[in-house]
Amino acid sequence: MKLAADDDMPVLDQEAFRPIDRARLFAEDDFSHAPRILMLYGSLRQRSYSRLLTAEAARLLKAYGADVRIFDPHGLPLVGSEADDHPKVQELRNLSIWSEAQVWCSPERHGAMSSVMKTQIDWLPLSSGAVRPTQGRVLALMQVCGGSQSFNTVNQLRILGRWMRMVTIPNQSSVPKAFTEFDEAGRMKPSAYYRRVVDVMEELMKFTLLLRGRSDYLTERYSERVETAAELSKRVNQRAL
């Protein structure tokens, strides 16, 4: 694309700079399959409230017409303790690649997300060969609290979602005193907190339907057209600067 003389930008790579492609931006949705949503929760306890909240949200997503998979973190090793070909790691990564959207739900511990939640996210690299397990996926965030309501964990997860180049929806859910919000059968009681969960799942489905088929284009970058992944890796990993 050639610019007028008055608008000349000599440092701009003219080959990599591209005008907005409206055909790709407004591409038709692929209705051949239900929206694919992966759900992660952050506790291994037998009565895990993050798991119960995830299961409640999964019911809603299925009612909205989604194809839902919930990853069981039991048996997932700590990052670095096993090779990438560990079966649980491969299961998690394959589910992430399969997904078009994700839900992350963690308990808040010591003012932060749980180690179980962080381990799952740490096993999802930004890139794995030519495949990007998270880029362009829509993301919804939830947390459960043992005491009063807090937003520390969803705020941290939002930072991670941005780092993983995911499209994180504006709404989010934080359930305080979670032990009071579920009955003996593990179902969420009627409350404003339940209504917020419905809001979040509804918004997630809307964003997922709106963006699928064009997420790759939305997360495509000028800088990556200028500099290949190999060149970038070589530059940022220089031993002496």
Q: What is the pLDDT of residue 9?
A: 81
pTM (two decimals): 0.85
From first to last of the 241 residues of the chain, give the pLDDT tens digit: 555 556 678 888 888 888 888 888 887 776 788 999 999 999 999 999 999 999 999 999 999 999 999 999 999 999 999 999 999 999 999 999 999 999 999 999 999 999 999 999 999 987 766 567 898 899 999 999 999 898 999 999 999 999 999 999 999 999 999 999 999 999 999 999 999 999 999 999 999 998 887 777 777 878 888 876 556 556 656 554 4
What count of other Cβ atoms lies within 10 Å of the Cβ of residue 133? 20
Question: Which positions ≥6 away from 221 have C-beta within 8 Å?
Answer: none
Q: What six digits make up the tokens of 164?
A: 């993983």
Distance CA 144, CA 186 (A): 14
Q: What is the pLDDT of residue 217?
A: 79
Distance CA 182, CA 146 (A): 13
What domains lie within the chain, and their CATH numbers?
32-238 (3.40.50.360)
What count of other Cβ atoms lies within 10 Å of the Cβ of residue 150? 15
Q: What six digits make up the tokens of 117?
A: 């939640």
- Strands 138-144 and 112-113 come out as unpaired
- The secondary structure of residue 188, as a DSSP letter, is B
